[in-house]
Amino acid sequence: MDLTSRLRQLLPQASSAVPAPKKSVDLDPLLGGTEVETPLGPCYLVTKQLPLAHRHGNWPLSEVYKSAYTHLARFAPGGGDRLNLERALFLDTETTGLAGGTGTYAFLVGLGYFTPDSFVVKQVLMRDYNEELALLHVVDQELGAKDAVISFNGRTFDLPLLQTRFALARLGFQGASGKVHYDLLPMSRRLWKYKLSSCSLNSLEEHLLGVQRSGDIPGYEIPQRYFDFLHTGQGRLLQDIVEHNFLDIVSMASLLFRIQTVLELEPSQCHCPYEAEALARLALQNRAPSLALDYLHRASELAREDELYLRILRQQAALLKRTGQHGKAAVLWKEILSLSASDLSSAEELAKYYEHRAKDLQAARQITKRALALAWAERSPLVPALEHRLNRIEGKLRRQAAEF
């Protein structure tokens, strides 16, 4: 026997037996969905419909549906003057990992949309990895039927992940191309980042939407729960995940409405200083400084915390200075210093005002000396600038005295 024949004897022998197909899991009694066939194979679909009278948190879905979304264009370039909810799709994914990357799968994709009678949520599930192509096909078809996508952190996570999965599957992600994208997370941060310690969806639900979840699965447990399902085939492991995803979709609809109601507020209608402050920033972004000042004035009236009140006063003063209202800005700098004598920036601004605008060199010197003493004590980097200012002011005073 030659060497080649001997080596062949050591290789494992191919079996002629065909592997038994993996036993399918009956999820219908647990999830209430159905298997759907696509040109790329089967996957699982759960469809739920909520009547518009259904109340999710503080509002019925009918209020969400009927609202005119005319103030969102600043958050979504190309979105036009108004968002048509019937042409929009709410999207949220549950994945095998939270970091993204090529090894992360979107095993459940929730898709929500309004009709004149209801809010429909479709949840596309792959029961195993071999159903990914079918899942992607269904998602692409649903996206292709709409004009806009609404997500929560979807611009950073969900859509890039789906784009990666489509690319790896060598499928064209046509449904998402050309879509206007409204990402509710950065919108929420713009409005409530100072009001709330966290702008997670759970935090927004609790503090702003009036939604209280009971027994909800934490997001970080979802990947392992799905892996356990793949290993054991126990469909009950998916129940909490599907419910979690469903609530995320419905909460996004309520959050969109909550954002719109804030954006509609006139300064006099604001009842939250944090929202008035945020609207001032948006007005300034839209080159409406007069309106921004009105929002800041309202915010200062509503503020009850010293830190918040001082921050608003500083913004007011800076904007008044920028718009040439130096006298009004000086009044605010004085108030800031009466509440926070260590505010070196406001002291420097007030010194500038007295030196260059009011031409009151004595007041300018007094404020600068006080600020310089504090800067020395704190070893502030403003020491050289304040020393230079004081020397210049005293030089002006000496020349002024010499003229008399």
Residue 98 confidence class, pLDDT cut points 50, 70, 90: confident
Tens-place pLDDT, residues 148-174? 999 999 999 999 999 999 999 999 888
Query: Looking up tokens 């929730």, which residue turns up?
Result: 110
Q: What is the DSSP string of 299-310?
A: HHHH--SHHHHH
Residue 40: exposure state from Cβ atoms within 10 A (0-12, 13-18, ≥19): middle
Asked whether the beta carbons of 175 and 141 are under 8 A apart, the reply is yes
Tens-place pLDDT, residues 256-287? 999 999 999 999 999 999 999 999 999 999 89
Q: What is the DSSP string of 115-154?
A: -SSEEEEEEEE-SSGGGHHHHHHHHHHHHHT-SEEEESSI
Phi, psi torsion values for 113, nearest 5 degrees: -155, 160
How much of the chain, in percent, has pLDDT values that exceed 90?
A: 85
Asked whether the beta carbons of 170 and 176 are under 8 A apart, the reply is no
Q: How far is CA 93 from CA 44, 159, 172, 196, 334, in A?
A: 15, 9, 19, 25, 52
Tens-place pLDDT, residues 197-207? 999 999 999 99
Q: Three-state SS for 112?
A: strand
Phi, psi torsion values for 90, nearest 5 degrees: -80, 135
d(CA 132, CA 129): 6
Task: Show me where the domains of the chain are located.
Answer: 28-263, 341-404
- Rounded to 5°, the CA angle 282-283-288 comes to 150
Model pLDDT, residue 18: 37
Model pLDDT, residue 172: 86
Q: Three-state SS for 400?
A: helix
Superfamily of domain 28-263: Ribonuclease H-like superfamily/Ribonuclease H (3.30.420.10)
Mean pLDDT of 361-384: 94
Model pLDDT, residue 96: 96
Query: Looking up tokens 């399918």, which residue turns up?
Result: 24
Tens-place pLDDT, residues 25-68? 789 999 999 999 999 999 999 999 999 999 999 999 999 999 99
Residue 396 backbone class (left: φ over 0; alpha: ψ -120 to 50; beta: rest) = alpha
